Amino acid sequence: MANIAVVLSGCGVFDGAEIHESVLTLLALEENHADYQCFAPDMDQYHVLNHMTGEEMNETRNVMVEASRISRGNIQPITQLDAKDFDGLIFPGGFGAAKNLCNFAIKGSECEVQADVLAAAKTFVVANKPIGFICIAPAMIPLIYGETAKLTIGTDQETAAAINAMGGEHISCPVDEFIVDETKKVVSTPAYMLAGNVLEAASGIRKLVAKVLELS
């Protein structure tokens, strides 16, 4: 039975992990009879947003504490994540992936991946184990894999151009499909970069999870 690590970036689409994408990922893993463990950085979020109004709130929240809402409390700090303990890794999306796991939402093509996130992901690259990236999370791929990694965030031309400027090779992709770089064992799917509802998001996520398990 495969054992997959899932890295969450908080709780809530605008400042953390996209909840639907995260839960759909966990559901797809269970549907494929795979075990999983959730991880998150033990750090403050970039900011906290009111999800009804979009306005910034004058408070501070911890990424791992917020992510534990999705994982029902079963979560570990990303500093404990190492590829030797898992068969693959998946990053659900949400703006937290682009604000907390990296700063793509703020710096675009000049962004950096948070140090602990990068170190954990690199253990999977070195071990030649697959990683799946959902929604905006693929923006981290060029910084983790280096230049020429094939990936998708869907069809948004501005975001694709920024990723290509970072050295990635963006490929347009519909919501119900995925892109795989077989050589690097990296898989990506647009999900809510394109999805209009939960069902559409689920279609690509299920395929991504199946491909990560196939490569593991």
Q: What single string gives the DSSP state of each residue in 121-154?
A: HHHHHHTT--EEEETTGGGGHHHHH-TT-EE---
Strands (E), 23-118: 35-40, 75-77, 88-91
Contact 63, 42 (CB under 8 A): yes
Q: At what angle do helices 19-31 and 198-215 cross, to 10 degrees?
A: 50
Structure tokens at 124: 């999977």
Amino acid sitting at position 145: Y
Q: Measure CA 143 to chain center.
A: 13
CA–CA dist 67, 81 (Å, integer): 15
Annotated active-site residue in 11, 38, 102, 135: 135
102 catalytic residue (yes or no): no
How would you classify residue 64: left for phi > 0, otherwise alpha for psi between -120 and 50, otherwise beta? alpha
DSSP-based three-state secondary structure for 187: strand
What are the residue numbers of the active site?
Answer: 135
